Structure 1
Amino acid sequence: MNIIVCVKHVPDTAEAEVTIDESGKDIKKDRLPFDINEWDNYALEEALLIKEKYGGKVTAITVGPKEAEETLRKCLAKGADEAVRLYDETFKGSDGYVTAKILHSFIKNLQYDLILTGVQAADDEYAQVGVTLAEMLGIQHVSMVKKVEILEGAVRVNRELEGGLEETVEVKLPAVLTIQTGINEPRYVSIAGIRRASKKEIKVVGLDQLGLRSDEVGEQASPTIINRLFMPEVEKKVEILAGSPGEVSTQLLNILKEKGVLSL
């Protein structure tokens, strides 16, 4: 089974102090660590598990600059067979729709049974690329996937719904699945895997090779444009009441009266 996994190289902001850059449309990334997008990491692991059970090949593809090869090397170290980076300077500013268009221009010429993406990317949270890619390829898709079962010429999956519910869906192959976190336990990268990955070639494909024009990519071709990025204003504050239980009770009672909660 030939599986394509679309991955993204994203900044890790979990423990970082995020600040807005001079453009007002992005965050400052020069001092942030980067890694594979969390959702894509689960998608990669699911692809590797399927390959180990049924055989085949896993190809990791990303849209991004030279630095994104760090994530592709990680995919290779974990067990991906091939890695491809799609990039041109004109790709900058591409939204989810245009990113899907770039991926489609390359993937449409490949032989594949299954395409896996993460549900969303941690940096923009568009959750658009996987489903848009499926529409462009003219194949079925299932989003928010929590379980995958390979059948003869089809795939049966559980997808997450609201309220903790799941539904079971069966679709014919080829198909696109957007993978939710928690579907598996992503493996760690081994030293041997890192050594193997360092020797593998990462194919780089540019604008002309993809058959795209510069006016078809980037911000100018994107339906979604970021006008301004800002930190939300603090509208509420926390007041800590101090003193003995009796004093705190009195203070709380007075506050509730001032706010109109109590009319005593």
Structure 2
Amino acid sequence: MTDSEQSKLIISAAAAPGNVPDEAQEEGDATAEMELRQVMVPAESHGSRLDRALAAIVPEFSRTYLQQLIEAGMVKLGGVTATKASAKVKAGDELVIELRPTPQSQAFKPEPITLDIVFEGQRTVMDQLVGLIAARDVSREYVALAHGAWQGAKTRQVDAPIGRDPRNRLRMAVVDLEKNAGKTASTVVSLLQAAGKHCLVKCKLHTGRTHQIRVHMAFLGHPLVSDELYGGAPAAGLGRQALHACRLAFEHPVTGEAMEFRSGLPGDLQAAVAGLGLIYNQIQ
């Protein structure tokens, strides 16, 4: 059996109410979903700390979250509940991981957010729209305000695979698929206007990867304004990353009607664009 086969998902299930810890039931969380993964430690993780091995085996989860699972007794190593993230693992060791919400992950409280609804449809239509996005039959365009004086062609196509950054698990990065896990990603970046050390661009997605525009813009040497995770320093008083979805177009999945929706820049981004000497024309 290959290492990748050893690491594949064997079991996936929702926790029945009777399997949920008493304390979770007391909190009214008896229906919380739980995914059980049973894996074997691959050869390349031999001798690693338990939390590091887990991070390599289930890269879609942060190391902090996996450490929380260990502390909560939700990880078994060789049939015994693990208690220390620093425990060493050996190739071939069996790991059983209960992936469920931890007290830390549930500590966040939602806040009211005003939403401007541009279109409302039935749930069945929304479900089919998800399928259109997956099939790449939806045109999605974004406006981004970025650092760096623009040079070269006004339109660039970025075809660069994206995966988890091996040096910082909070980030995604352009990766070599022969060495790291990742997926193909394609973005067309068009210059709208440049002024001094900043530029305003439109980004059209041909794929939909996590943080795709942020990663590809940083890869081009133009990190987004106020996107410090990817090297973009704050500017013009903008307190968030300078990225805005400006256009969505698709064929209605039921009627076949051509649908197009546009959204102007929100006030804070308008102010930042103007503050850096740039002008945005929504028709562009």
TM-score scaled by structure 2?
A: 0.21
Structure with higher helix content: 1
TM-score scaled by structure 1?
A: 0.22
Return the structure number with greater relative CO, CA threshold 8 A, min gap 6. Answer: 1
